[in-house]
């Protein structure tokens, strides 16, 4: 799986499903529980994204990426709460994702063809 596939999986299946019925605190606790289950299966706990991409074992890399993105989203939910983007948690989260995608797009070099 690619990094973005795991990130999208966490965003769509975990956070959006939990935010529809609950608030940020309950969503964070669900994500933390799932992250801890995967963290038990990882040999090395604190890795950067570059270190994770260099792991040869596919399962270890998948588990590490899952934990990395899950912990990132936990921190992001705190940021969303502080920013108060919207009263609806789902709209606030979608706005945050959109802003994040725009920031990532700006950091990459985009080349357009003349056609």
Q: What per-residue confidence (pLDDT) applies to 106?
A: 58
Is 65 within a domain?
yes
Domain count, the chain: 1
Q: In this predicted structure, what is the pLDDT of residue 110? A: 56
pLDDT of residue 111: 62
pLDDT of the residue at 112? 60
Give the C-alpha separation, 27 to 24, whole Å. 5
31, 15 in Cβ contact below 8 A? yes
113 located within any domain? no
Domain that holds residue 73: 3-107
User: Residue 30 and residue 20: Cα distance in Å, rounded?
Assistant: 13
**20-37 per-residue burial string, b: 16 or more CB within 10 A, e: under 16:** eeeebeebbebbeeebee
| Residue 52 counted as domain residue | yes
Do 73 and 11 meet the contact criterion of CB atoms below 8 Å apart?
A: yes
Could you tell me the two tokens for 67?
């934990």
What residues in the chain have per-residue pLDDT under 50?
Answer: none
pLDDT value at residue 11: 85
Distance in angstroms (rounded) separating the CA atoms of residues 25 and 55: 32
């Amino acid at each position: 799986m690619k990094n973005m596939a795991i990130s999208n999986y966490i965003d769509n299946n975990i956070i959006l499903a939990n935010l529809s019925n609950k608030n940020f605190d309950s969503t964070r606790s669900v994500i933390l529980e799932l992250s801890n289950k995967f963290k038990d299966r990882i040999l090395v706990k604190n890795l950067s994204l570059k270190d994770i991409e260099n792991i040869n074992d596919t399962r270890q890399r998948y588990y590490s990426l899952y934990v990395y993105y899950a912990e990132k989203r936990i921190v992001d939910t705190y940021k969303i709460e502080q920013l108060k983007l919207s009263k609806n948690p789902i709209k606030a989260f979608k706005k945050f994702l959109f802003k994040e995608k725009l920031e990532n797009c700006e950091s990459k070099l985009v080349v357009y063809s003349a056609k």
